[in-house]
A and B are shown apart, each in its own frame.
Chain A
Amino acid sequence: MNVSIKIENSEAVISVAREAAGPVTDGERAAIGAEVARLLQRHLRARDASNAHAYPEGGRRSHFWRKAAEAVSFTHDDKSVTVTVAHQGVALRYAGAPEGIKPVNKKALAIPAHAHAYGRSPLEFNDLRIVVFRAQNKAALVRKPKKREHLGTVMFWLVRKTKPVPGDPTVLPPENVVLGLAARRLALMRSRRRAQKGAP
């Protein structure tokens, strides 16, 4: 599932750009799409930069949000402009999962428990084993213990269902910023065109 910002009612954009008048042209919709796409890319890159502290144990950063920014695209038709992040996982972070997440075709979900497990599948490790902690009623995928280590490092917790995952609307830029920039771009295009034609 992907997440998109869709500006459906072009009249609303025009009303914000006070001096703009008349129907929005195809070229103007392309420019609005490009403007909102740039905004969304900047927003996602800033999010990536602010997540710099995410892995205190020093795991390799996946730069999830930068990759999401790279996957931003836009389309337009004769009524709307749509800007989309075609990157797996962004929609889940935006919308959340109020019922929690359950495994599909699997018995359990593997939740990263260690910095080096983030952004990786358990199948990318070749030394994991299942350990059940009966007292805590928990199970984990644990790395083979090193010398003098009793247990080994817990890399993933295994769960049948996660707790409810709250949605995060800040995954996308605020609506008023999106709309304001779209309107500003439209107004700039039109005032430039008027200036070129020599209109007052």
Chain B
Amino acid sequence: MPSIPSTLLAPTTFAEALQDRAVRDLLPTSLSSAEIMEIDPLIRRRAVFSARVESSRHLTVLDNIIQMILDPEHNPDGTPRQPGQYMTEARARMLLRAHLEQIGYRPAAGDEGGIKDLRSEQRIRAQLDYPVSFARNYGHAKQMNAPGALDEFPGQRLLPSYADEPRGDAWWGARWRAAGLPGPFGSDFVALKSDPGWKRLSIFGYPYPPFAWGSKRETEDVDRETCEAYGLIAPGETPAPMDLGESNPLVASLPDGSPDLISAILAQFPNAEFLNGVLTQT
């Protein structure tokens, strides 16, 4: 008779997090980070990009490495990786750096060592950490949208920052209220998962973390008892799911129903141009 609960040591996959990557197409672009942020979040969620990265090859390698961090025991094609080759974050950074050396990447003069230098530690971490965090948080949000889980955990809490020097609750309280979220209830930042204010709280436009560059505030699920106590939901009320922008299949979920990523971007930015496959500002 196994102990209850039992503990398993086995390869398993966070399938929903991988789904976040599976729907993406490469988007080589000469746009800056700020310019990319003007693209509709739903379109960005369908793209593999990095500011001012025009190389499809680099984006392919980046996408593969991100997938392997999410699923450390498998290659992107699903074949198993050998013990000793499982993907760790340190190995991922090293692989990305090695790839850049292999293709002979050189930063522009004056950019060496900074965020614009693809080889810099800061940029390599940004290229890997944010997509991995988005994928995991998307995966968790998707799991929590399952009817039984959502009914018992209809709310989401913004957890205190774990930054070394966090911004105070007053700063976050103002931002929270500006996003139209209810409360906060003392220092408890809780709202229903379906509240569109979560997307406004995020500079990226998603209802799940990370909410900003460098943000160290995560979320956790809040149970129905707490949500009822805060008056966020009535007893017996069926909660609405978090809007993950995918009530429609991939193509239809692009804002204007465009058939592909390029068409969707051109529809939003008629003056944009794809020169040799690279999104460029005209």
Contacts and interface: CB of A to CB of B under 8 A. Distances in A.
A8 interface: yes
B89 interface: yes
Nearest to A3: B9
Interface string A85-113: 01111010011000000011110000000
A37 B220 CA distance: 10
A41 B220 contact: yes
B71 A124 contact: no
B175 interface: no
B147 A27 contact: yes
Interface stretch (B48-56, B91-99, B245-253): B91-99
B82 interface: yes
B221 A70 contact: no
A81 B224 CA distance: 21
B162 A1 contact: no
B5 A89 contact: no
A94 B162 CA distance: 24
How many residues of A sit at the interface, in one of the four size bands? 35 or more
Nearest to A195: B235
Interface string B137-166: 101100110111101110000010010000
Interface in A15-71: 25-31, 33-35, 37-38, 41-42, 45, 48-49, 62-63, 66-67, 69-71
A8 B143 contact: no
Interface in A132-173: 172
B72 A88 contact: yes
Q: Which of A62, A66, A70, A185 has the most B CB atoms < 10 Å from its CB? A: A70
Contact of A7 (B4, B13, B91, B149): B4
A88 B88 contact: yes
The B contact surface, by secondary structure, is mixed
A62 B2 CA distance: 35
A45 B136 CA distance: 15
A121 B94 contact: yes
A84 B14 contact: yes
B84 A106 contact: yes
A6 B7 contact: yes
A132 B39 CA distance: 54
Contact of B5 (A7, A49, A121): A7
A31 B9 CA distance: 23
Given A31-B151, A41-B220, A106-B84, A5 B12 contact: no
A188 B151 contact: no
B264 to A, nearest CB: 29
A131 to B, nearest CB: 22
A175 B3 contact: yes
A119 B13 CA distance: 23
Contacts of B147: 27, 30
B88 A89 contact: yes
Contacts of A178: 5
Contacts of B225: 188
Contacts of B265: none
B17 interface: yes
Contacts of B5: 5-8, 175, 178-179, 182
A34 B10 contact: no
B64 interface: no
A49 B70 contact: no
B124 to A, nearest CB: 9
B142 to A, nearest CB: 10
Nearest to A41: B220
Q: Which of A12, A84, A86 has the most B CB atoms < 10 Å from its CB? A: A86
Contacts of A72: 140
A2 B88 contact: no
B85 interface: yes
B63 interface: no
Contacts of B84: 103-106
Contact of A34 (B82, B91, B139, B153): B153
Contact of B82 (A29, A63, A104): A104
B152 A73 contact: no
23 contacts: A1-B9, A1-B10, A2-B9, A4-B8, A4-B12, A7-B4, A7-B5, A8-B5, A30-B149, A35-B153, A48-B162, A49-B162, A66-B162, A66-B218, A71-B136, A73-B17, A73-B140, A88-B72, A89-B88, A104-B84, A123-B97, A124-B97, A179-B4
